[in-house]
Structure 1
């Protein structure tokens, strides 16, 4: 297993731009997958954030109650959430 450190003082990307650069710099052994979750009690993801994620060159999905027009979105209300995500991942990774 490779251990990666982001080149910042905190060791983690602080913005979407930094996260995108970080993802591009990594030498992935496997197909990268990013799953974003935000506590529904606080608030859902902004449309700006979701639109920015569509520009990443990797497999991404948010877990949110509002679907996105071009990105797979999974609801916390889905009783089979984990299975739905696993099925989507299997389909997605086999297509690449």
Structure 2
């Protein structure tokens, strides 16, 4: 979750296992930069649940998802996009300029 070079402290509660636990841990971190979370779904699973996606809309972070079933309030990218990485990088650049 946190690159080693940022030296994020381990959660005293262990690895966050729910979105609520992740939100609490996220808020306790003192970020020098603005991190971006990118969620992707495994190809053999059913995709993200609506509950999970709805919860992400309330997460206090910059978030996007890579999925075949986009959510209207979350930036979404198709895993089938032949220019997926470039599309995400363009979104990241636009997002950073807005911050």
> For 1:49, what is the secondary structure of its paired residue?
helix
RMSD: 1.0
- Any stretches of 5+ residues in structure 1 without a counterpart? none
> For 1:22, what is the secondary structure of its paired residue?
helix
Shift of 1:40: 2.1
1:7 to 9, 12, 15: 12
1:20 maps onto 2:23 in alignment: yes
- Any stretches of 5+ residues in structure 2 without a counterpart? none
Q: Which residue of 2 aligns with 1:41?
A: 44
| 1:29-85, Cα deviation, whole Å (9 max, x unpaired) | 111111111202122000100000110111001110011111101110000000000
* Partners of 2:15 and 2:46 in 1: CA distance: 23
* Partners of 2:12 and 2:77 in 1: CA distance: 31
TM-score calculated relative to the size of structure 1 = 0.92
Runs of 4+ in 1 over 4 A off after TM superposition: none
* Partners of 2:93 and 2:40 in 1: CA distance: 20
TM-score calculated relative to the size of structure 2 = 0.89
Q: Which residue of 1 aligns with 2:90?
A: 87
* Partners of 2:78 and 2:53 in 1: CA distance: 15
Residue correspondence of structure 1 range 44-83 to structure 2 within 5 A: 44-83=47-86
- Residues paired across the two proteins, number: 94
